[in-house]
Amino acid sequence: MDFELTEAQVAVRRSARTFAEAEVRPLARESDEKREFPWHLVPRMGQLGFLGGPLPPEYGGAGFDYVSMAFVYEEISKACSSVRGFLAVHVGLTSMCIYDWGTEEQKRAYLPRLASGQTIGCYCLTEPNAGTDVASMETTARREGNEYVINGRKHWITNGNRADLALVFASADRALKHKGICAFLVDTCTPGFKRQRMIGMELGHRASDHAVIDFEEMRVPRECLLGAEGDGFKVAMGALDHGRLGVAAGAVGVAQACVDACVEFARNRRQFDKPIGDFQLIQEMVSDMVVETSAARLLVLFAAHQKMMGRRNTRETSMAKYYATEAASRAANNAVLLHGSYGYSNNSPVERYLRDIKGYQIYEGTNQIQRIIIARDVLKDLDRQMDISSVI
């Protein structure tokens, strides 16, 4: 077993860390307060290869392996979860989905522009009455000659107000449940595509662009189908395997940011004539955070490795998403406590980490759903349990 990173992986991690510390972190607090996404970072991430991350160079990508891409997500999340959220939706849920399911023509038309940031992508699955239960979606796609006419509403769509390209899921036959769902690549200038900001203020990810999108008699040509008619559910789930790795790696970033903030604070904050880091109950918090962050990182790297080797990775990715987001939630909760009243203000970043991490436990499949995925996979696949790698 080789725990060493390749030179290329080290270089990508270094470049992501430098970018995150120098260009993302300084903006994170203000973007959160103003609820404004720092859009100027998008072309910059394109230049650095992060937007095209795992795509091959022939489609404008950087050809990063999945371990490298996990480090990109981790480093950016350490600085700002909203920027990491943008990236996971744009790359994991949109570009990678087109790469997996698109025709050659669709790949050539969209991927290079997504990789440079000229086109921004969003993923429109969730509806007011259909979240986890995707098959019950109410958005419909009515076939008329060579066109589909789409009607319905999506909400919580990250990047939705700014996106140029929307991956839209709609049912061609609601009676068929998941087998009736289709995926469409939709230009957001299409008549009938209407968007507005989400109502209410988010708990976290406050710099993210979250939209409610309505489709009103929106006509799209048949060529906009991604995959065949009825493949939409498989397209949506395949995208989530990519996206969840980004969420899991991002959660490791939040957990690590909590460790870093706590170590600095525990060294410098003095009470009873000592740094609080000298107290064993503080040491217990720091050590639990460090152990759980390291365990989460190993699960993420293992899932990324399985993906990189072209092996099945749904269970591993769900394990990483579930554990890393729970571990980061415990870390953020304790980080605020360890900072005392200083952690209760947005003068300290740990307050934002605590608000942001809740979203990680909800989106791209709540953590209850991750547990269901893991258990179903384990219970049905007895042969695979004999494979030592699946025990890790």
In angstroms, give the least distance from the CB of 157 to ligand FAD.
5
CB 339 within 8 A of CB 185: no
Nearest Cα neighbor of 363 from 84, 64, 152 is 84
Question: Using CA atoms, how far apart are residues 129 and 336, in angstroms rounded to an integer?
Answer: 35
Nearest Cα neighbor of 78 from 255, 263, 286 is 255
Which range in 24-32, 42-50, 154-162, 317-325 contacts ligand FAD by CB under 6 A? 154-162
| Selected binder of ligand FAD within 369, 378, 381, 390 (CB under 6 A) | 369
Longest dimension (CA), the chain: 79
CB 231 within 8 A of CB 183: yes
Active site residue 30: no
**Residue among 94 and 348 whose Cβ is closer to ligand FAD:** 94
Q: Angle 202-204-208 (CA atoms, 0-180°, nearest 5)?
A: 75
Residues 269-308: x where in contact with ligand FAD by CB under 6 A, - otherwise, as a string: ----------------------------------------
Q: Angle 54-60-63 (CA atoms, 0-180°, nearest 5)?
A: 30
**172 forms part of the interface with ligand FAD (CB under 6 A):** no
In angstroms, give the least distance from the CB of 210 to ligand FAD.
6
Residue nearest to ligand FAD (CB): 131
Six-digit token string for 369 = 């759903």
Which range in 4-12, 25-33, 126-134, 143-151 contacts ligand FAD by CB under 6 A? 126-134
| Selected binder of ligand FAD within 363, 370, 373, 374 (CB under 6 A) | 363
Six-digit token string for 264 = 């600095």
Residues 188-217: x where in contact with ligand FAD by CB under 6 A, - otherwise, as a string: -----------------x------------
Which residue reads 């040491």 in tokens?
A: 283
**132 forms part of the interface with ligand FAD (CB under 6 A):** yes
In angstroms, give the least distance from the CB of 156 to ligand FAD.
4
Six-digit token string for 98 = 């087109």
| Selected binder of ligand FAD within 67, 76, 359, 374 (CB under 6 A) | 359
**Residue among 34 and 311 whose Cβ is closer to ligand FAD:** 34
Nearest Cα neighbor of 125 from 98, 157, 88 is 157
| Selected binder of ligand FAD within 94, 139, 140, 158 (CB under 6 A) | 158
Q: Angle 325-80-84 (CA atoms, 0-180°, nearest 5)?
A: 65
Specify the 3-state DSSP secondary structure of 206: coil
Alpha-carbon torsion (175, 176, 178, 183), positive or negative: negative
Question: Using CA atoms, how far apart are residues 125 and 238, in angstroms rounded to an integer?
Answer: 13
Question: Using CA atoms, how far apart are residues 48 and 91, in angstroms rounded to an integer?
Answer: 14
**50 forms part of the interface with ligand FAD (CB under 6 A):** no
**126 forms part of the interface with ligand FAD (CB under 6 A):** yes
**Residue among 45 and 124 whose Cβ is closer to ligand FAD:** 124
Nearest Cα neighbor of 112 from 62, 60, 150, 160 is 60
| Selected binder of ligand FAD within 278, 366, 378, 390 (CB under 6 A) | 366
Which range in 16-24, 109-117, 118-126, 272-280 contacts ligand FAD by CB under 6 A? 118-126
How far CA 272 is from CA of 16, 240, 267, 278, 285, in Å, comes to: 40, 50, 14, 10, 19
In angstroms, give the least distance from the CB of 212 to ligand FAD.
11
Of 75, 202, 292, 364, catalytic: 364
**Residue among 64 and 123 whose Cβ is closer to ligand FAD:** 123
Question: Using CA atoms, how far apart are residues 225 and 361, in angstroms rounded to an integer?
Answer: 31
| Selected binder of ligand FAD within 118, 362, 378, 384 (CB under 6 A) | 362
| Selected binder of ligand FAD within 52, 112, 131, 253 (CB under 6 A) | 131
Percentages helix, strand, coil for the chain, rounded to the nearest 5? 60, 15, 25
Which range in 59-67, 111-119, 306-314, 366-374 contacts ligand FAD by CB under 6 A? 366-374
Question: Using CA atoms, how far apart are residues 133 and 376, in angstroms rounded to an integer?
Answer: 17
**Residue among 65 and 127 whose Cβ is closer to ligand FAD:** 127
**346 forms part of the interface with ligand FAD (CB under 6 A):** no
Catalytic residues: 364
Contacting positions for ligand FAD (CB under 6 A): 89, 123-126, 131-132, 156-158, 205, 359, 362-364, 366, 368-369
